[in-house]
């Protein structure tokens, strides 16, 4: 799973953005210049190594416990290398002592904005939950079932988690410190809700393997298949089916833009190096006529950031103007009938 964003924020906040090694206290975030963003030179060192064969790695701690705040100490790169190279000198007890003494020094000598720190930890906790429920770390894998083949498909577990995510975001208490970040998170909730609503319009479940299980595949119903042959009706239903599949795909593209936008704002407001190694979320579409799969990067353009997702009807109309799109046109079948 790795170190959570909330853990990042707590560790850096309690360390005052300084190296915890005695008498070092070098600033680990260099100020931004007129041409460059702030530079992160600090390293989150594991007291008990992430792996058992690492420095001080022999421990009963689980992999998850090794990435928690209690097992991390903030160091500059020089002292991180030192404590790992000289593991017999810099034991678990000594590193924990360094950490306690440094954090006490920070609390006594630095003037920190505790309310700002509290707000940012709240945001970080929200982002961690979104990452978990949206299965961000397997994004390209699970979304490929929607983009792959002729029928958008999803695992029921993914659907359940996305519904939990919608309710989670809807019920948040917002610190109101970073309004654009809050708007971006709500925007992601709105797109996700629309995506699930449209996907659910024509679905069938794999009943052969789902009996008594919560984890099964949900398919888009091939509703163009008719018993009595009628060419005109068949073609009409086939066109509606193709439209529906491409609309589902376009909404998932919009979800990808929406969550990439959230992560941009996380880097701007909360943690500059957030998901730098992982990069932006990508999607994979295929197979094409040559049986190839193609990987795409999709994000909001600068002029789209003021409005983001405009609602389903408007989105149907403008989706082909996005950086990536699959279908086009408005279909009234997706809106309530008025009489």
- Confidence (pLDDT) at 35: 47
Max CA distance (Å), the chain: 84
CA atoms of 183 and 189, how far apart (whole Å): 10
* Order of strands across the sheet that contains 203-205: 153-155, 217-220, 203-205
- Find the mean pLDDT for residues 129-149: 95
**Hey, what are 1's tokens?**
């799973």
Position 288 scores a pLDDT of 85
Q: Please give the structure tokens belonging to residue 283.
A: 């999607």
**Better-scored residue on pLDDT, 103 or 41:** 103
In angstroms, the CA 193 to CA 162 distance is 8
Q: Residue 282 contacts by C-beta under 8 Å, 6 or more apart in sequence? A: 139, 140, 256, 295, 296, 297
Element (H, E) at 118: helix 114-133
Q: How far apart are the first and last CA of the chain?
A: 52
pLDDT at residue 33, rounded to an integer: 45
Q: What percent of the chain has pLDDT over 70?
A: 94
Give per-residue pLDDT as tens, 83-102.
Answer: 999 999 999 999 999 999 99
Per residue in 31-62, pLDDT tens?
Answer: 554 445 555 678 999 999 999 999 999 999 99
The Cα 283–Cα 300 span in angstroms is: 15
Mean pLDDT in residue range 251-271: 97
**Could you tell me the residue ranges of all domains in the chain?**
5-112, 117-334
What's the pTM? 0.90
The CA distance from 202 to 205, in Å, is 10
pLDDT tens digits along 191-250: 999 999 999 999 987 655 555 567 899 999 999 998 888 899 999 999 999 999 999 999
Say how far residue 11 (Cα) sits from the centre of its chain: 21
Distance of CA 13 to the CA centre of its chain: 23
Rounded-to-integer distance, Cα 14 and Cα 70, Å: 12
């Amino acid at each position: 799973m790795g170190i959570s964003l909330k853990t990042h924020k707590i560790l850096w906040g309690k360390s005052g953005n300084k190296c915890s090694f005695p008498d070092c206290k070098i600033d680990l975030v260099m100020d931004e210049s007129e041409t460059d963003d702030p530079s992160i030179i600090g390293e989150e060192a594991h007291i008990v190594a992430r792996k058992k064969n690492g420095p001080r790695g022999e421990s009963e701690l689980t992999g998850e416990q090794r990435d928690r705040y209690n097992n991390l100490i903030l160091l500059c790169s020089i002292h991180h290398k030192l404590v790992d190279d000289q593991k017999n000198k810099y034991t678990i007890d000594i590193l924990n002592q360094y950490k306690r003494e440094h954090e006490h020094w920070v609390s006594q000598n630095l003037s920190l904005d505790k309310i700002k720190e509290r707000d940012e930890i709240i945001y970080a906790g929200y982002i961690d939950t979104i990452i978990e429920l949206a299965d961000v770390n397997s994004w390209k894998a699970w979304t490929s079932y929607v983009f792959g083949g002729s029928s958008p498909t999803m695992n029921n577990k993914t659907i359940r988690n996305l519904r939990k995510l919608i309710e989670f975001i809807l019920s948040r208490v917002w610190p109101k410190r970073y309004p654009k970040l809050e708007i971006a998170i709500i925007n992601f909730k709105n797109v996700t809700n629309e995506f699930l609503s449209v996907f659910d319009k024509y679905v069938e479940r794999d009943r052969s393997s789902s009996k008594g299980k919560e984890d099964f595949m949900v398919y888009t119903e091939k509703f163009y298949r008719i018993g009595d042959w009628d060419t005109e009706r068949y073609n009409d239903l086939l066109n509606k089916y193709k439209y529906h599949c491409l609309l589902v795909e376009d909404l998932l593209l919009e979800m990808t833009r929406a969550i990439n936008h959230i992560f941009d704002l996380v880097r701007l407001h909360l943690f500059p190096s957030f998901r730098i190694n992982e990069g932006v979320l990508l999607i994979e579409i295929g197979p094409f006529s040559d049986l190839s799969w193609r990987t795409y990067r999709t994000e909001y353009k600068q002029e789209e950031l003021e409005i983001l997702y405009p609602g389903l009807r408007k989105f149907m109309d403008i989706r082909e103007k996005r950086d990536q799109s699959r279908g086009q046109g408005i279909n009234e079948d997706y809106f309530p009938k008025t009489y």
